[in-house]
Structure 1
Amino acid sequence: METPKTPTAIEHRIREGLSRLDSVLRSEDWVRARAAGLNPTQHAILEYLAGRAEGATVRDVAFQLGVSQPTATESIAALERKSLVVKHASTVDRRTVDVCLTEAGSAALMAGDGVPDVLTQATGTLSDGDKEHLLITLVTMIKRLQDAGAIPIQRMCVSCRHFRPYAYADTAKPHHCAFVNAAFGQRDIRIECRDHSTADPSLQAATWGVFHKG
């Protein structure tokens, strides 16, 4: 069959490309999970809880991972039996419980550290400019998905109340983080920050407007 002269829509081809990357990530997730004696969902729960000292509700875990609440509940119960997570009453709502990572859970995550990360290796071959462009493109796509309600708010700079985009004229380090009181550049924008503090919707909108325009 001849290659069609008119290709499919560019959005479709981008989706195809992302699906290829996703297949690599899923394969590596299986290997990491097996190294820890877990399945991918259980391993993903541990990764989500890492750095969240306050823990997370079962509902939050399910929403973040894109699984049903019964699936999250079953997976958390299995992790609890292995002493990899622990539950305690929520400090915000006593009617709910928070799930927290234990020291054994942190150790289990480290078991997969030796798995070859081929996507990171591939990204390492890109130029500095291409890496920065790819990072900002990913941030933009995640922001669009958040706005559509497809994924929860991520712990990114652009949704954090500490982020001050383009606070400086310095093109190398134009942004400011009020949490650490320091300037930083585009290539240092974070998608997952443990010190993230979600800004209110109006501040998020204003921050994004400045960041995206810049």
Structure 2
Amino acid sequence: MTDVPGFPPHTQLLAALARLGQATRMDAVRNAGPHNLSPLQADIVGLFRRGAAVLRQSDIVTALASTAPTISDAVRVLRRKGLVDATADLADARARLLVLTPAGEAEAERLTAFSDGLVEAVDTLPEQDLAAILRAGTRLMRELESRNLIPMSRMCPTCRFFVPDAHPGEVRSYHCDFVDAPFGAAELRVTCPDHEVRD
């Protein structure tokens, strides 16, 4: 019996993930919207929607695994476009607190939706495939986080409200204590505004 030619499975998986990342980046470029946002600017606006209403620039650097000068430039452009405002941080005179303006809030709302093409492609997956991908995806993300290769994500497995084996033998075996409801692997969240880090 001979080995299948070509790259090994782990390389194939990483290549597939890179291609999927390329699809979402291309979608972000096409979805620049009325303010002609770059993918990085859109990511910054989206951070406010997914998490805190007020952020320091250092929070954005950490969340997006970027550099201070890169984020500073992007924030400067967002302020010029009228999407982000800055106020003095009373706790740190050197820092500024960033908030979305009303126009920024509207843009954040628009950015929450992926394009029809991406959504339709994902909707072709059977529920069990979607569940398997989300289960494996969150496990891989946790592993990458533990190696400091990606920043911490606001996902179910790292949340204090997540109970993984609350309903053994059930399809919806997980439980969210925040909303007090069972859910299954196909409903795992990789970003959640109600996330609180588990002790």
Q: What TM-score, normalized by structure 2, do the two folds share?
A: 0.86
Aligned match of 2:92 in 91, 94, 105?
94
Aligned-partner SS, 1:199: coil
Residues 115-124 or 156-165, more deviating: 115-124
Q: CA deviation at 1:69?
A: 0.8
* Structure 1 residues 105 and 145: CA distance shift in structure 2, 3 A: same
* Structure 1 residues 127 and 5: CA distance shift in structure 2, 3 A: closer
Q: CA deviation at 1:159?
A: 0.7
Q: CA deviation at 1:31?
A: 1.4
Distance 1:184 1:115 in 2: 23
* Structure 1 residues 165 and 113: CA distance shift in structure 2, 3 A: closer
Name the residue aligned to 1:144.
143
Give the number of equivalent residue pairs. 196
Distance 1:47 1:101 in 2: 10
Name the residue aligned to 1:199.
198
Structure 1 unaligned segments of length 5 or more: list them: 201-214
Contact kept, 8 Å, 1:33 with 1:112, in 2: the verdict is no
Aligned-partner SS, 1:33: coil
Name the residue aligned to 1:10.
9
Name the residue aligned to 2:45.
46
Cα deviation, 1:119-165, whole Å, max 9, x if unaligned, reads 32111111111111011111111111111111121110111111111
* Structure 1 residues 195 and 116: CA distance shift in structure 2, 3 A: closer
Distance 2:112 2:182 in 1: 31
Aligned-partner SS, 2:87: strand
Calculate the aligned-residue CA RMSD, in Å: 2.3
The one-letter code matched in structure 1 to 2:92 is R
The one-letter code matched in structure 1 to 2:85 is V
* 1:23 aligned onto 2:22: yes
Q: What TM-score, normalized by structure 1, do the two folds share?
A: 0.81
Residues 82-91 or 182-191, more deviating: 82-91
Contact kept, 8 Å, 1:46 with 1:105, in 2: the verdict is yes
Distance 2:119 2:99 in 1: 28
Cα deviation, 1:17-63, whole Å, max 9, x if unaligned, reads 12222221111111112443222211111011114344222122123
* 1:133 aligned onto 2:132: yes
Distance 1:103 1:51 in 2: 16
Name the residue aligned to 1:211.
none
Q: CA deviation at 1:99?
A: 1.9
Distance 2:10 2:171 in 1: 32
Name the residue aligned to 2:119.
120
Distance 1:175 1:110 in 2: 29
Identity of aligned residues (%): 28
* Structure 1 residues 5 and 113: CA distance shift in structure 2, 3 A: closer
